[in-house]
Amino acid sequence: MRGNVFIAGLGLIGGSLAKAIKKAHPKAHIVGYDLRESELGLADALNIIDEKAASFEAGAATADLIIIAVPVLQTEYMIEHLASLPLKKGVLITDTGSTKSRIMERARVLEEKGIAFIGGHPMAGSHKSGVAAAKELLFENAFYLLTPPKLAEEKNIAILKKWLEGTRAKIMEVTAEQHDEMTGVISHFPHIIAASLVHQARKFNDENPLIERLAAGGFRDITRIASSNPEMWKDISLHNKEMMLTLLADWRDEMNDILSILEKEDADGLYRYFDDAKTFRDSLPIRSQGAIPSFYELYVDVPDYPGVISELTGYLAEERISITNIRIMETREDVFGVLVISFQNEKDRLRAKICIEQKTTYDLFLA
């Protein structure tokens, strides 16, 4: 496809979309804009964009496709601002926000002016941020949810899907309400729970500092999403407030149920509680990307002798397998392996597993 693509917001998501679109549509002209001059300059230097917009207004004026890739509160502002600008006839606008109901409500101002807006949410991310971490295949096999308004023209939905084909994502159409319910359950709400678990541990740590050391094991892993950007999650939680209130009320009832089971010392009820959770969790897809970015980790039970870590990483280096992180586990209750190695994707993790199995006798476990 030909045309001008204007991307407002050149972080990980905006930069990755620019690369995916350019790969699939080399004749497209990618214009970038970001309030952070450093990110804008870096995107230009890395050839992620073809041109830096002189301003938001200038970039939007000649665009055939406008992608708003900024936090949700800024998205609302940009939608209102676009409605006041002289835009190109037939321009198509989309966003990448993690919530949809409020954004689609705000986008009615565009519909009233005959400007097509289709909500979007690419459900992929990375342990890294910023345009320097942008990857052409960041969204490969991830879900990319579109939330067209009720009166959206099928032609516009088809055009947007064509622009996004280079993402190699699984593009699905849902309503804004369905989107916010689903992402609320499996993404937004878990962030609140993870943060609450960390707060609870912090309070106990004030009386017993050993808790901090013990929490370096499995606890740190199950609460890793609490390390996400607090500004972003403040905005997301407020945007999806009604769903969060409903889920928190349900969670309170769930905790009251387990509290009752424990008080009664109901062994059968407790077993069923854990067994039902295990059954459902074990049935979840392993290779599919979900709302929370996956961590591709390999647990290795290595012997304790000098040089064992450099020996292991040396084997991986010989096979040109990139490592994103490596750490030693001190607390290993319910966690297999003393060494945790993180990779960028599932392919690298499986290659590493095969490599280590061929060169050592260490026990391995894929988390």
The pLDDT value recorded for residue 237 is: 93
Convert the pLDDT of each residue in 61-100 to its tens digit: 999 999 999 999 999 999 999 999 999 999 999 999 999 9
**Are 109 and 158 found together in one domain?**
yes
* SS3 assignment, position 66: strand
For the chain, the domain total comes to: 3
Domain boundary among 233, 256, 283: 283
Domain that residue 336 falls in: 296-366
Instruction: Tell me which residue of 343, 322, 334, 336 sits closest to 365, measured CA to CA.
Output: 336
The pLDDT value recorded for residue 21 is: 97
Residue 290 lies in a domain: no
The pLDDT value recorded for residue 288 is: 54
The pLDDT value recorded for residue 126 is: 64
* SS3 assignment, position 274: helix
Instruction: Tell me which residue of 328, 326, 330 sits closest to 317, measured CA to CA.
Output: 326
Residue 146 lies in a domain: yes
Pairwise CA distance, residues 15 & 186, whole Å: 25
The pLDDT value recorded for residue 341 is: 87
* SS3 assignment, position 55: coil
Alpha helices in the chain (DSSP H): 12-24, 37-45, 56-61, 72-83, 101-106, 108-111, 154-163, 176-183, 189-207, 210-214, 218-222, 230-239, 241-263, 267-283, 308-318, 346-359
pLDDT beneath 70: ranges in the chain: 126-128, 216-217, 286-295, 329-337, 367
**Are 145 and 118 found together in one domain?**
yes
- Contact between 186 and 218 under an 8 Å Cβ cutoff? The reply is no
Residue 49 lies in a domain: yes
Convert the pLDDT of each residue in 151-166 to its tens digit: 899 999 999 999 999 9
Pairwise CA distance, residues 159 & 192, whole Å: 37
**Are 130 and 86 found together in one domain?**
yes
CATH, residue 191: 1.10.3660.10
